Structure 1
Amino acid sequence: MGTFYMLVGFSVAISIFHTLNSFIDVQNDQFSSTSWHFKRFYSISTNFQKRQTPNYVLLPTNYTYDDLDINLSTSLEFGTGSSRKTIKLKLTPQHVTWVPRLPESQTEFCNNQKYENECRFAGNSWYSPRAANRRTENNNFTFSETVDYNSTYGDWYEDTVTGGGASVSLQFGVAEHWRSAPALGLGVQDGNPNPERPNYLTALSQQARIGSQTCSFYNILDSDSPGEVIIGGVNRGNIFGKFQIWDNYDTGLLDTPMFRLVGGNNTANATVIEGPYKPPGAANRPAWIEIKEANIRLPSRVHEWITTTLNASRTDIGYYMPCNHQFDREAVLEIIWSEVTIRIPLTYITSPPTIARNVRDDNMCFVNLGDPPGESEYSCILGGPFFRAAYVVLAPADSFTAIAASKQNATSQDIVPLSGNVVAMLQSVSGSDAPMDSSNPESPPGASIPNTGQKSLSTGAIAGIAIGGAAVVLGGIGALIFLCIRRRRKWKTPPVIPLPEPGLEPLYGSDQDPTYRPISELSASFKHASNTSTPPMELPGSLDREPLTGRIQ
């Protein structure tokens, strides 16, 4: 019976662990019932370690201006062991990753005026190739950030690339000549990627480092604070409300929104300055999200609202405004879709005086505006300031785009890995809901976010509750099994049967009483009184001898 109770307890423990594991998956929006397999319950610690291994890649980003370029960048490690080298890369939506080749003499190279710009673009991010890593088939590598010419060329190599704790074997170009910063090709734009040379996103997916080919972008085009890109997941700690999803266009395209310019930072008391306005022909001219676009390009009428409010004017190198121009610094441009509203303060569209590059008048400040799109172009192109106010998810493999209102200066990490039916998972993801007023510095000014009434625990809290509950339940089961085994052992201890007093005999013989057991059949450990010097045992004085039953009790 002891073995039976142990098997029952073990089965119950397995059921509890499987249930708790499913509970954690559901709370984290990972609808998987096969995360732990029965055959692996022999090693609980191994399973916990497996559960804690992230299936997403988080890349911190920085956004910088210089005289040569405007760079959204991150850093990856190339190579292994002693040859590992950290290289700063510009993030692009294209499919190609490339790095500059380390010259035989870096000093000589950088002192040569001919290569001055190349040296500045490379900075300290050089790659020293090994012959064993060189690809031999179709080895010529070319790359350009425009379609006009191939500004970067060299050879194809393959090596281990590590970012966000995930290592992957990646093919990339090693440039002999270049005219821009080294690039990490995320592969989130449409095009014809070479299947023989998978981009970074595809390589991570093929080598099981991520659960889905999705890229989420948070605060990536803000020069004042860092941002992040999560490949294979989203950080719901960085959003308000829920996502609106478009899966009826190619990746990066979405319905043309309505626009409104309001003053003040409380929707209830806001003064509508202009709008609402929807561009003509919006049904046939979708909007476009562009991660490498520093500016926002708005329909003509909306563009005019902004330039008039900011007193901005067009120059041959972009839009500028007087740095001392006074305007309503609480004014907000609202970009309105059916399920989400993105509110961009006009201060996001202006830049500090330090960005007034290439302008002789130090009193002129750069404005993050581009020319209005032409009639044959997209209705608007959302870059630069839009990414400071919106959390964007691009999924090239599943051909959808999702956006939510972004929480500024967020520090929490509540990352939801995405896999399987990604659209359904995103529909269930909800960020915090906050009162939209000036007393809440984290809320987007005047944003209109639906109240879902949902409050979610963090992943750590859920895991702690689950593990603590499992420990209590398993402790109770263990105590029950211990008591059952102890009681069973107590039952197996043979009773001590006292001998009858001399002269007392059964009223009938053993042949007449089937329950009678002769002394010779007692346990071998029992010693008869005639074989020891100990006097015969007497029955206790309290024994009721009347009436005699004829049996030894």
Structure 2
Amino acid sequence: MGLSAITRLRVVAFIQIACFLLSFAYVAQQYRNTTPGPLISDQLLLTSSKARRAGKSHVVLLTEFSYIRGGGVADFDVITNITIGGNQDLRLSVTPQHITWVPQEPGSVVDFCNVQRNPQNERGCEAAGRSRYYKATGNTRTDSFSFNEGYLDVSINETATGYWVEDTIAADGIDVRLQFGVALRWHSSPVLGLGIQPVNQNQRRPGYIDALKQQGKITGRFCSLYNHMSEDVVGEIVLGGIDTDKFRGRLAVWQKMGIPGEVGAPAVRISNRTGQLMGPYGNPEQPLAVIDPLARALFIPNDIYEDLITELGAFGLQGSRNRSLGLPCDQIYAVEDILELNFGGTIIKIQFNHLKGIELKDSPGLCELSVFPTEIFPDVAKRWSFVLGGPFFRAAYTVIGVEDNSAGIGVLNPTPVGRNIIELGGNFGTSLDKIEGDDHSSSSLSAPALRLSPGGIAGVVIAVTFVLIVAIVSGVYFWRSRKRRFMPDIPLPQSLPPELTPDVRPMSELEAKGPAAVHVLHELPAYSAPVQELEANTNR
């Protein structure tokens, strides 16, 4: 027995609603995979990353920048959170070196950080206390480990010594096996070595980026830096990709340079306090610059430096080392007062207000000028005319390619509303010079635009087409069901003799013309037996 009309209607409606919900869920999933929401806490980001595990080939390190004082000396650290061994959470300073190291617990705490016996270790133990300690359980190695603080000048003395271990390191929901040092003695902050610069490189013990690539966690050895050296701002370092929401327009790109992060030297102009610019300054003798992810200051040629400090009104400090200069911390410059760096048409504008660094400990109310002449940077004067660090990262989005010694510089978007990460590397990776950033204003609080991959667009088209087909087929089915329901039932004919039938048709034209003709009240049904006509050759 067939379904009733109401039941059929319910089934059709259910099918249509289910198809619509499935297609809506697919679009929502594509949106979630492509454009995550605004910056969130580590725990929420970790949960979201696990939900998006399929197909992801990049790692996002959330960072914070801080001036750390200890033992009368200031450190400048970019800090991120990692998990070691599945349950040990540490906060490590990020470095371009290849080596990662952490302080040991409990031995070093009892010995090295014994304040009564070793008061000279106070600064290093303060740094380790902020980072937290690591317990090496069941995977101790016997070979010794040593680390040098300077990653561009390896002549600096060892600052951490201990032994090597191998364990799992997790960040942004991605686990990787990594060999790292466990320090018994140290004199600096524990670090996560990304492996950007070619210092302390060892094929047996790869840096963090190399380990991610070798173990298939990322498709390309790229590092993208966003606002990672600004105080009180959550910065980002993307490994294996680039975030197009964090910059505007096209990138200036250099490929196959001497080392990762090396770029052509910019043309420079300096504003004065009327908004007019001085320059441009050229660099014919030293046409190269380098992006240094952790340089706390901007290093520029001496002639530009002298003109800049004149415009800033900076002054020397008594007893200052390395030609350090100071600015009043409460000095506010006009927005038009800028140091302008032009990289072949990509113009990075560094505000004078962003050139003020840490407040000087011995000079309250004065802040260090975060610009130095290149000549005081160790061995840099022989190779580079600029070292791009510190204030540069508050105005520029930068990408460093380790595989092909490439680099990209773009105009930083100071108010992004989300992420749109394009993964780099691999056989089908997108070239840096083909990528465009977000040119729309990000100052509003509106939600980011939906961005779908080509596969996502195709899936949405298929889903919508399927819903339409189901709706059309269901509509036709329902219409035909209603038609069959309301078609009248015609009774079967009665078998009566012709002479008793009340509605007798005339059998011939003559009969119809006679006075005894019967008026027809009803027509015979269409299935009545045909009337036999007289044959034409009948004799009369």
Same topology, TM > 0.5:
yes
**Conserved 8 A contact 2:297-2:391:** yes
CA 1:377–1:486 in structure 2 vs 1: closer, same or farther (change >3 Å)? same
CA 1:542–1:195 in structure 2 vs 1: closer, same or farther (change >3 Å)? farther
| Deviation (angstroms), 1:79 | 1.1
Q: Which amino acid in structure 2 is aligned with residue 320 of structure 1?
A: L
* Structure number with higher strand proportion: 2
The superposition leaves residues 379-424 of structure 1 with CA deviations (integer Å, 9 ceiling, x where unpaired) of 1111111111110101101320001011224343222233435452
SS at match of 1:351: strand
**Conserved 8 A contact 1:190-1:396:** no
Question: 2:305: which partner in 1?
Answer: 303
| Deviation (angstroms), 1:499 | 7.7
CA 1:192–1:71 in structure 2 vs 1: closer, same or farther (change >3 Å)? closer
Q: Which amino acid in structure 1 is aligned with residue 367 of structure 2?
A: C
Question: 2:513: which partner in 1?
Answer: none
Question: 1:181: which partner in 2?
Answer: 189
| Deviation (angstroms), 1:110 | 4.5
CA 1:88–1:50 in structure 2 vs 1: closer, same or farther (change >3 Å)? closer
Question: 1:252: which partner in 2?
Answer: 261
Question: 2:525: which partner in 1?
Answer: 543
**Conserved 8 A contact 2:360-2:366:** yes
| Deviation (angstroms), 1:111 | 3.2
Alignment of 1:109-508 (within 5 A): 109-112=113-116, 113-135=119-141, 139-146=143-150, 147-148=154-155, 149-191=157-199, 193-249=201-257, 250-263=259-272, 270-272=275-277, 274-282=278-286, 285-310=287-312, 311-313=314-316, 315-316=320-321, 318-323=323-328, 328-330=333-335, 331-351=337-357, 355-357=359-361, 359=362, 361-373=363-375, 375-420=381-426, 421-422=428-429, 424=431, 427-433=434-440, 457-459=449-451, 470-482=462-474
Aligned partners of 1:240 and 1:385: how far apart in 2? 18
**Conserved 8 A contact 1:56-1:233:** yes
Aligned partners of 1:256 and 1:343: how far apart in 2? 15
SS at match of 1:276: strand
Q: Which amino acid in structure 1 is aligned with residue 221 of structure 2?
A: Q
CA 1:189–1:242 in structure 2 vs 1: closer, same or farther (change >3 Å)? same
Bigger Rg, structure 1 or 2 = 2
CA 1:213–1:322 in structure 2 vs 1: closer, same or farther (change >3 Å)? closer
CA 1:260–1:488 in structure 2 vs 1: closer, same or farther (change >3 Å)? same
Aligned partners of 2:171 and 2:238: how far apart in 1? 11
**Conserved 8 A contact 1:309-1:327:** no
CA 1:141–1:127 in structure 2 vs 1: closer, same or farther (change >3 Å)? same
Q: Which amino acid in structure 1 is aligned with residue 413 of structure 2?
A: K
Moved more, 127-136 or 381-390: 127-136
**Conserved 8 A contact 1:356-1:362:** yes
CA 1:470–1:93 in structure 2 vs 1: closer, same or farther (change >3 Å)? same
SS at match of 1:309: helix
Q: Sequence identity of aligned pairs in percent? A: 28
Q: Which amino acid in structure 2 is aligned with residue 432 of structure 1?
A: D
TM-score, normalized by length of structure 2? Answer: 0.72
| Deviation (angstroms), 1:178 | 0.9
Aligned partners of 1:155 and 1:423: how far apart in 2? 40
Alignment length, in residue pairs?
Answer: 446
Q: Which amino acid in structure 2 is aligned with residue 98 of structure 1?
A: W
**Conserved 8 A contact 1:110-1:119:** no
SS at match of 1:237: helix
Aligned partners of 2:242 and 2:342: how far apart in 1? 22
Q: 1:88 aligns with which of 79, 86, 91?
A: 91
Question: 1:44: which partner in 2?
Answer: none
Question: 1:37: which partner in 2?
Answer: none
**Conserved 8 A contact 1:77-1:162:** yes
**Conserved 8 A contact 2:251-2:432:** no
**Conserved 8 A contact 2:84-2:167:** yes
SS at match of 2:63: strand
CA 1:259–1:50 in structure 2 vs 1: closer, same or farther (change >3 Å)? closer
SS at match of 1:303: helix
Aligned partners of 1:104 and 1:51: how far apart in 2? 38
Aligned partners of 1:321 and 1:70: how far apart in 2? 18
SS at match of 2:158: coil
TM-score, normalized by length of structure 1? Answer: 0.70
Question: 1:100: which partner in 2?
Answer: 103
The superposition leaves residues 444-503 of structure 1 with CA deviations (integer Å, 9 ceiling, x where unpaired) of xxxxxxxxxxxx93337999987765544222222345567889999xxxxx99988659
Aligned partners of 2:52 and 2:440: how far apart in 1? 33
| Deviation (angstroms), 1:244 | 1.1
**Conserved 8 A contact 1:414-1:458:** no
Unaligned stretches of 5+ residues in structure 2: 1-18, 36-49, 483-488, 498-521, 533-540
The superposition leaves residues 38-59 of structure 1 with CA deviations (integer Å, 9 ceiling, x where unpaired) of xxxxxxxxxx976865321111
Aligned partners of 1:252 and 1:404: how far apart in 2? 13
SS at match of 2:121: helix
Aligned partners of 2:133 and 2:97: how far apart in 1? 21
| Deviation (angstroms), 1:74 | 0.9
Q: Which amino acid in structure 1 is aligned with residue 176 of structure 2?
A: V
| Deviation (angstroms), 1:325 | 8.7
**Conserved 8 A contact 2:34-2:420:** no
Q: Which amino acid in structure 2 is aligned with residue 287 of structure 1?
A: A
Aligned partners of 2:454 and 2:99: how far apart in 1? 40
Aligned partners of 2:394 and 2:114: how far apart in 1? 36
**Conserved 8 A contact 2:91-2:132:** no
| Deviation (angstroms), 1:75 | 1.2
**Conserved 8 A contact 1:320-1:364:** no
Moved more, 337-346 or 475-484: 475-484
Aligned partners of 1:129 and 1:394: how far apart in 2? 33
CA 1:549–1:483 in structure 2 vs 1: closer, same or farther (change >3 Å)? farther
**Conserved 8 A contact 2:102-2:134:** no
